[in-house]
Amino acid sequence: MIEARDVSVSIGHNRIVSEANLAARPGEVTAIVGPNGSGKTTLLKAICGDLPYTGSVAINGRDVARTKPWELSTLRAVLPQATSLSFPFTVREIVRLGTLGGRTGALAGEDDRLPERALAAVDLEGFAGRFYQELSGGEQQRVQLARVLCQVWAPVLAGEPRYLLLDEPVSSLDIRHQIAIMEIARSFADRGGGVVAILHDLNLTAMFADNVLVMHRGRAAANGAPQEVLSDDVLEEVFGCALRVGLAPRGVPFVLPQSVFA
């Protein structure tokens, strides 16, 4: 489990995150939602160990601040919002970087073919020989996801669950690939791993998340199952617009932006 307790982050004199709590359990997709500037990415960076914070963050019981980079890299992989490169790497060379730590969890001898398999998973078969810099933003994002998948190819390694931390994984993708990528996250969780994803799309959140943390002005405004958290009151308070939440078949909430006119 990834457990963040009373995490606060200040950058300069500004307190970006205040006493946020998050529990991301293996087997679940945990979504972090909230308006721009509400501290979602900052909280995720604290969980990754990228920013100094007060409070505590632990992955499978290990304190993030006191664990070495190589050990953390065997427990979790992180997808950044966007990655630009200055050197002409091929797509395969980028994806292969995911195997750098050597703890992919793939079967012996499978590591060599892992980049191709990861690329196939993100629907980029045949892109291995292309230059990363020549791809569109959405394709680059999927290449990075393939790299991240290589790093924790097995969701559970030596009995320990591993985690995907995704910062806006579907932000520049078309609708088909948004769903495809969320299904990859879902399947990773179903096979015993854990997923923490920052999402902007409330409908994708409702469809795929088991657990939703709503951030508002650096604080956790609500936390729970999508059906509990995605309510008219919470959305109005957090996003400041009068949205009406509907219920789709199978009890999945949905939000139409048109509802503000109702």
Q: Is 57 among the residues that bind other proteins (CB under 8 A)?
A: no
Contacts of 88 (CB under 8 A, 6+ apart): 131, 132, 133
The Cα 108–Cα 95 span in angstroms is 18
CA distances from 49 to 62, 65, 73, 223 (A): 12, 6, 11, 22
Considering the complex, state which of residue 11 and residue 256 has its C-beta at the smaller distance from other proteins: 11
Q: Using alpha carbons only, give the angle 230, 194, 57 rounded to the nearest 5 degrees.
A: 90
Which tokens in the block code for residue 92? 């395969």
User: Applying CB under 8 A, which part among 16-24, 68-76, 204-212, 221-229 lies near other proteins?
Assistant: 68-76
Backbone angles phi, psi at 238, to 5 degrees: -80, -45
Q: Is 180 among the residues that bind other proteins (CB under 8 A)?
A: no
Nearest CA to 215 among 49, 46, 35, 7? 35
Length of the chain: 262
Q: Segment 236-255, which members bind other proteins (CB under 8 A)? A: none
Q: Which of 36, 84, 136, 258 binds other proteins (CB under 8 A)?
A: 84
As measured in angstroms, the least distance from the Cβ of 259 to other proteins is: 38
Q: Which of 12, 14, 66, 87 binds other proteins (CB under 8 A)?
A: 87
User: Applying CB under 8 A, which part among 15-23, 44-52, 230-238, 252-260 lies near other proteins?
Assistant: 44-52
Q: Is 48 among the residues that bind other proteins (CB under 8 A)?
A: yes
Considering the complex, state which of residue 56 and residue 133 has its C-beta at the smaller distance from other proteins: 133
The Cα 151–Cα 75 span in angstroms is 9
Q: Is 69 among the residues that bind other proteins (CB under 8 A)?
A: yes
Asked whether the beta carbons of 192 and 155 are under 8 A apart, the reply is yes
Q: Segment 90-129, which members bind other proteins (CB under 8 A)? A: 90-94, 97-98, 100-101, 115, 126, 128-129
Element of type H or E holding 196: strand 194-198
Q: Is 3 among the residues that bind other proteins (CB under 8 A)?
A: no
Which residues in this chain contact other proteins in the complex, by CB under 8 A?
A: 45, 48-50, 68-74, 76-78, 80, 83-94, 97-98, 100-101, 115, 126, 128-131, 133-134, 151
